[in-house]
Amino acid sequence: EVQLVQSGAEVKKPGESLKISCNGSGYSFTTYWIGWVRQMPGKGLEWMGIIYPGDSDTRYSPSFQGQVTISADKSISTAYLQWSSLKASDTAMYYCVRRTTVTTFDYWGQGTLVTVSS
């Protein structure tokens, strides 16, 4: 069974760093891209970027380029989303999603809630 399991909720202060994770199981992790999606409170979905764990090829949406870093550790079938200096506006639910072809998305993680507040 394909599963994407994300790390737990986080509460951070502005300026702190953070790395959240998405662990894939039930399939060959290195041969499918993993994307990240933001959902701010009460708002819609926003595409952030994507990584190919096989070679760590990473692409960012222009809106998120330079704001976050996407990475992966194929040895433990895990993709990451990280911030070096959080802002209150980073408060959101973050989802990972598997891409099977360039244009097909299927399985989603359960989401990680990030709260940034002083």
Task: Kindly list the residues in this chain that would bind other proteins in the complex (CB under 8 A).
Answer: 35, 37, 44-47, 49-50, 59-62, 95, 97, 102-111
For residue 50, what are the CA distances in angstroms to 42, 57, 69, 78, 105?
A: 24, 8, 10, 13, 12
Q: Which is nearer to other proteins, 17 or 110 (CB)?
A: 110
Helix, strand, or coil here: 13? coil
C-alpha–C-alpha distance, residues 70 and 38, integer Å: 13
To other proteins, the closest distance from the beta carbon of 62 in angstroms equals: 8
Q: Which is nearer to other proteins, 25 or 85 (CB)?
A: 25
Q: Which is nearer to other proteins, 1 or 118 (CB)?
A: 1
To other proteins, the closest distance from the beta carbon of 106 in angstroms equals: 5
What is the DSSP pairing of strand 92-101 with strand 10-12?
unpaired
To other proteins, the closest distance from the beta carbon of 15 in angstroms equals: 29
Partnered with residue 35 across adjacent β-strands are: 50, 97
